[in-house]
Amino acid sequence: MTGKTLIAPGILTLAILAGVAYVILADHAAPPPPARGAQGPVPVVVAPVVQRYFETRLESLGTARANESVEITARITSPVERIEFSDGQQVSRGQVLVRLAAAEAMAEARERQVSVEEQRRELERIRGLVADRNLPRQRLDEQQSRLSEAQARLEAAQVRVADRVIRAPFDGVVGFRRVSLGALVTPGTVITTLDDISVIKLDFSVPETFLPGVASGQPIEARSAAYRDRTFRGEVTSVDTRVDPGTRAAMVRAAIPNPDGALRPGMLLTLTLVKDQTESLSIPESALMQVRDQHYVFVITDENRVRRQDVEAGRRVPGYVEILGGLEAGTRVVQEGTVRIRPGSAVEVVREYQPVGGRP
C-alpha cells in the first residue's frame, strides 16, 4: 500500500511538467498573431485639380427654313410657250424659267414704238416753226405732252411683254414643275418654287430667363436625325423684340452655312446654344463623392494619408465637374480607390491621372 501511494503523486508531477514544456516550445515555434486592424497602405489613382473651360448650354428645337423662299407665279393670263428649267435645278438670279405666249404683246409694243417715233418727229417740226415764230409756244407744249403720253403707252406695252418672261429673282434651287407646255396660266398660278438653301435659317424659342446672355454672333450647334454623325455649326443673327406672354419665351434666329445643300427647309433640328464660357477649377467626375446634398472629395496629404474635403460642385462636361469652392489648383484628389478608404487611411499612389484639356 505504501509503495502504490508514493508512485501516483510522482506520475502527476511529471504530467504537469510535460504540459508546461509543450506550451513554452509552442510559443517559441509559432509567429505572433498580427495586431488587430493593422494593414498596408491602400493603392489609389490620383488626379490634380486643374483649370478648365465650362460652357452654359441651352438645348432647343427648331425648324429649318430657306434663306430666301418664293413661289414662282404668273402675273398675267397667257398660255405657256416654253419651259426652260428642270426639277431641282440650280438657277441664277435673272435666269429665264418660263416664257409665255407674247406675240400680241410684242405687236402692241412695236405699234407703240412707231407712235413714239411719229410724235418725236412732229415735236422737232413744231420746234422749228416755233423758233421761226410761225407757231405759238403753246403748240410746242401740247406736242411735248403728246410725246410723253406715247412714251408712257410704250413703256406699259413693254412691261406686258416682260411679264411674259418669268425669271428667277435670286440664286437658288427650283422645285417641281407644276405646269405643262400650252397650259393657260392666270395671275397667281404657281409654276414652281425657288429656295436659296446656301444658308439655312433656324428659328427657336429661348426662355426669358436666358435672354440676357443671348446676342447676335453667339455660336450654335445643330443636329438632324438624317445626319446622326454630323454637327452643323452657325451663329445667332437676331433676337425678337417681343416675349410671348403665354410661353414667357422669345424667338431667336440663327443662320447655318449649308454649302453642300445637306439641310433642307422643313427639317427638325436639335440645337445647342452656347450661352457663355468661363474658366474654372475642375476634377474628374469619378473623384466627386456625394452624401445627400453634400459633395466631397478625398485629398492626399503630405503624409500620404487622405482627408475628407467638402466642395461646392458646379457645371459638368463629359468626364469632369466644375469646382466652385473647397479646393485649390494643383491639389491632388483620389480618383480611383475611393470605396476602400476612409478619412485618415494610409494610401499608396500607383498612378497620377493626367487630365485632358485642362491646365494647372
| Band of residue 318 on the pLDDT scale cut at 50, 70, 90 | confident
**What digits encode the pLDDT tens for the residues 19-37?**
544 444 444 444 444 444 4
First to last CA, the chain: 98
pLDDT score, position 6: 42
What pLDDT, on the 0 to 100 scale, is given for residue 174? 96
pLDDT at 33: 45
What was the pLDDT predicted at 278?
84
Average pLDDT on 270-285 reads 87
pLDDT in tens, 325-348: 999 999 999 999 999 999 999 999
Of residues 306 and 56, which shows the higher confidence score?
306
Smallest CA-to-CA distance from 69 within 221, 223, 167, 173 is with 173
pLDDT digits (tens, 9 = 90+) for 48-75: 999 998 877 888 999 999 999 999 999 9
How far, in whole angstroms, is CA 234 from its chain's centroid? 7
- 252 within 8 A of 205, measured Cβ to Cβ: yes
The strand pairing partners of 3, in sequence order, are none
pLDDT score recorded for residue 100: 95
Here the cell at position 168 is: 428667277
Grid coordinates given for 22: 509543450
**pLDDT above 80 for 358:** no
CB 342 within 8 A of CB 305: no
Residue 165: HSE in the Cβ half-sphere, 13 Å Cα cutoff: 10
Q: Could you give the domains of the chain?
A: 43-54+279-352 (2.40.420.20), 58-66+196-277 (2.40.30.170), 102-163 (1.10.287.470)
The DSSP bridge partners found for residue 351 are 45
Please give the mean pLDDT across all residues of the chain: 87
| 218 touches 265 (CB < 8 A) | no
pLDDT interval class at 17 (50, 70, 90): low
Q: How far is the C-alpha of 342 from the C-alpha of 230, rounded, in Å?
A: 45
Q: Report d(CA 51, CA 72) in Å as an integer.
A: 56
pLDDT at 34: 40
